[in-house]
């Protein structure tokens, strides 16, 4: 599994974790524009992107608002369902044909109760989710539109080739016209 190779770069993986991945996780291919998780529903799955691109978004006042993108080697989940047992505020969909490894967070938690390595793995996942949220807050509160766009290109240089500009503008919190103007100036 590709995700095991990515995770091994950050934490120690033992046989118990490898066994968990092989027994409790499923790697699936998913076509473009498919929902993995739907707003206002409960979903306790964790998604690891082996190949492709996912996006998290929600609908508000008839608008589609993108909150994040996830490409190869990244992790996402509906933290509102996992930690507060509330219906998710967000949808998660494939932006392009993708290969995803998924597992149920409850199964991981069971393993954590008997395995220190699994608990470290769970902390790794939670740390990733928290860093993503912290970065997003920084984007929204402290950066200009131009700075947000430049930072996005640094973090994900191929995103312009992979994601429609309307989704990128929504993610940056700007209009598509403003995004076009910024792109022309850079």
CATH number of the domain to which 82 belongs: 2.60.120.10
Same domain for 106 and 67: yes
Give residue-wise pLDDT tens across range 22-63.
899 999 999 999 999 999 999 999 999 999 999 999 999 989
Count: domains in the chain: 2
Which residues form the domain of 96? 2-141
Same domain for 177 and 87: no
Burial class, 106, CB count within 10 angstroms (exposed 0-12 / middle 13-18 / buried 19+): exposed
Contact in structure between 86 and 139 (CB atoms under 8 Å): no
CA pair distance 129, 108, nearest whole angstrom: 16
Same domain for 160 and 69: no
Same domain for 95 and 65: yes
**pTM reported for the whole predicted model:** 0.88
88 has a pLDDT exceeding 90:
yes
């Amino acid at each position: 599994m590709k995700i095991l190779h990515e995770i091994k770069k950050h934490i120690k993986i033992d046989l118990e974790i490898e066994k968990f991945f092989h027994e409790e996780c499923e790697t699936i291919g998913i076509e473009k524009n498919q929902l993995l998780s739907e707003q206002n529903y409960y979903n306790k799955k964790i998604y690891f992107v082996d190949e492709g691109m996912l996006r998290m978004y929600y609908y508000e006042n008839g608008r589609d608002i993108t909150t994040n993108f996830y490409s190869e080697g990244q992790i996402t989940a509906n933290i509102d369902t996992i930690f507060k047992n509330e219906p998710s505020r967000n949808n998660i969909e494939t932006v392009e044909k993708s290969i995803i490894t998924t597992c149920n967070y409850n199964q991981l938690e069971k393993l954590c109760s008997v395995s220190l390595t699994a608990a470290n793995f769970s902390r790794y996942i939670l740390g990733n989710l928290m860093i993503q949220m912290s970065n997003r807050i920084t984007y929204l509160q402290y950066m200009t539109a131009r700075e947000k766009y430049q930072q996005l290109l640094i973090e994900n240089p191929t995103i312009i080739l992979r994601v429609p500009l309307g989704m990128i503008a929504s993610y940056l919190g700007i209009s598509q016209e403003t995004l076009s103007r910024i792109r022309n100036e850079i």
